[in-house]
Structure 1
């Protein structure tokens, strides 16, 4: 039986595509949602992983604010903008911070056109 090079190449390409579709999501890190936290003194951008956000009622800025008020404090990753090695701007986790509830606190969703890097849990 003779298998043409084109058919063999097509089967190989299809296998590679199917493998990447199945395997890559397993290696993908948690997506991060960004929020701007505003007080009377300043404002910062924090990131909460998709897994942590799923445990918050409402899974939005209102849920984050309600959780902060209910607990009195919470930990989150502060995000900042930096240049990547290719020169593109990206949002990256800077360091883990503690937030305290106060009457002047406001939490808003934060949209960015920049690439948002995932939280590296090994840096906790």
Structure 2
């Protein structure tokens, strides 16, 4: 199975969040504008098309954490692999929290 790896981005890159839903669970992933620009469709549909075409891809999983200031924020948790599946759905995810860029996630 061929795999596409989405590389970590520089801190200045804006991150868009998406919810990936399967029959078992759901996770939130983040992709930079640069990563999205390389996909056909530049949106959730582009991610779905990439998964169908390549079979799998690596992305950053995002989760809520507490910032040093005490505020909640969406931050990169770990890199995960997504595998194409019939029960998979990808949709935009809107968060009222600050979104931490991928390069800043380990602070």
**Cα offset for 1:109?**
0.2
Unaligned runs of 5+ in 1: 1-26
The alignment's TM-score, normalised by the length of structure 2, stands at 0.85
The alignment's TM-score, normalised by the length of structure 1, stands at 0.74
Show the counterpart of 2:70.
87
Q: Give the aligned CA root-mean-square deviation in angstroms.
A: 1.7
Say how many residue pairs are matched.
96
Task: Tell which structure's C-alpha radius of gyration is larger.
Answer: 1
Q: Is the 8 A contact 2:56 2:82 kept in 1?
A: yes
Show the counterpart of 1:76.
59
Unaligned runs of 5+ in 2: 1-9
Q: Name which structure has the greater RCO, CA cutoff 8 Å, separation 6+.
A: 2
1:113 aligns with 2:67: no
Q: Is the 8 A contact 2:11 2:101 kept in 1?
A: no
For 1:87 and 1:28, the matched residues in 2 are separated by 21
Report which of the two has the higher share of helix. Answer: 1
